[in-house]
Amino acid sequence: MPPDRWFGVGSCEGAREQAGACAVADALINDDPKLLIVFCSPAQDLRELLRQIRDRAGDVPLIGCTTAGEIATTGPSDGSVVVTALGGSGLAVRAAVATEASGNLREAGAHVARSLPDRADLPHKVVLLLTDGLAGDQREIVRGAHGVLGAAVPLVGGCAADDLMMSRTFQLYGDRVLTDSVVAAGIASNAPLGVGARHGWQRVGEPMLVTSSAGNRVYALDYRPALDAYLKHLGVTEPAHPDQEGLARLALTHPLGMRRPIGEDEVRFVAGADFAERSLTCVAEVPQGALAWIMEGDARAVLEATDAACADSLAALGGRPPLGMIAFDCIARRAVLGAAGIRSEIQRIAAMASGAPVAGFYTYGEIARTRAARGFHNQTLAVLSIG
């Protein structure tokens, strides 16, 4: 690694008593860290985990979140802790938090976006966002950040998860365990930073017209109650009793898609339903009047998207080898690939990192904005490459 920038990753599998201490010790490959990023299972004792990390690393800025699975160079895991450390004089970092974010998601995004260091000598910048994916329309967070930063500063990150329980996710900031929050780190570097995102999902069947929606709630498709229309398109018989977990498992591999003018279709994860009013809840906005398709994916297309997302992020480095890569990978892609497939996917990411360390987590939504205001994704892989 160059003398003025470094990137380290440590991981510890299982609910070990010293999981936090173990992971952070391996991540701190040098003695001048600027930022710690923690991805961990919600089954961990989060306060004890942070205590161990702070005891070892001191008051270094720290952000993190709970997951639906963790990613490290050695591969994917469940119930583990992954700590990433960035440091060196060639980096400047400021962390920020917005609590009670659901009250005003756009302002939450704007607030944390102001964390970006103003350093003319460090011209390459990115804002890394970790959000509560159950707090409402996540596109509002991206819109708020974009309103502060404009198009020149990329955004990247993901939505915290809770092992697909769809109940409560947690965000980590310093020594605090939070929910309904957005945590962020503004990173400025003297070397390039690259962001890429692809999903690989394809439309199947005929489109449905979104005839009634508000924000991330869909009330009617083709003038039928949205839940009824969704299940009918899939040919699924509804169980006798409401089953949120069953619907979530079904939705993992059958998201909604909407056409974009260029590039891949937008994908929306169906996070739940109101079984009484027959509506669907998505992780981000589904506009009324849009055409929506059921989407499906297969392992080949998903892995091709993995390669493309990594290649896009590495292209921004201008030929430099990466110091490390951080992957924000949707839990739905994991469902398509299966246990063997996700190991293959992380091996592909590690190979494209050319021996540099890899960290990440399985998310409820992904953030990757490099040019326009639109930057929230579902069922996608977003990658940050550190040059």
Which of 244, 273, 296 delimits the end of a domain? 296
Tell me whether residue 190 is in a domain. yes
> Closest by alpha carbon to 380, among 267, 297, 215, 232?
267
Q: Which two tokens stand for residue 310?
A: 């990594």
Q: Indicate the residue type of 40.
A: C
| Domain span holding position 274 | 202-296
Say whether both 94 and 153 belong to one domain. Answer: yes
What pTM value is reported for the model?
0.88
Say whether both 16 and 144 belong to one domain. Answer: yes
Tell me whether residue 382 is in a domain. yes
Say whether both 187 and 94 belong to one domain. Answer: yes
Say whether both 128 and 40 belong to one domain. Answer: yes
Say whether both 88 and 152 belong to one domain. Answer: yes
Distance CA 111, CA 116 (A): 11
Tell me whether residue 12 is in a domain. yes
Say whether both 272 and 312 belong to one domain. Answer: no
Distances (CA, A) of 11 to 22, 87, 102: 7, 18, 31
What is the per-residue pLDDT for 246? 84
DSSP label of 328? E
> Closest by alpha carbon to 169, among 133, 137, 139?
133
What is the per-residue pLDDT for 262? 66
Three-state DSSP at 324 gives strand
Three-state DSSP at 79 gives coil
Which of 246, 280, 296 delimits the end of a domain? 296
Say whether both 77 and 174 belong to one domain. Answer: yes
Tell me whether residue 1 is in a domain. no
Say whether both 62 and 161 belong to one domain. Answer: yes
Tell me whether residue 156 is in a domain. yes
Which of 281, 296, 311 delimits the end of a domain? 296
What is the per-residue pLDDT for 15? 63
What is the per-residue pLDDT for 17? 79
Q: Between β-strands 381-386 and 193-198, what pairing exists: parallel, antiparallel or unpaired? A: antiparallel
What is the per-residue pLDDT for 371? 66
Say whether both 258 and 328 belong to one domain. Answer: no
Say whether both 99 and 179 belong to one domain. Answer: yes
DSSP label of 320? P
Q: How many residues appear in the chain?
A: 387
Tell me whether residue 318 is in a domain. yes
Q: Please enumerate in sequence order all residues whose Cβ is within 8 A of that of 21, keeping only pairs 6 or more positions apart, or say none.
A: 52, 53, 55, 56
Say whether both 232 and 327 belong to one domain. Answer: no
- The parts of the chain modelled with pLDDT lower than 50 are none
Say whether both 182 and 212 belong to one domain. Answer: no
Give me the number of domains the chain comprises. Answer: 2
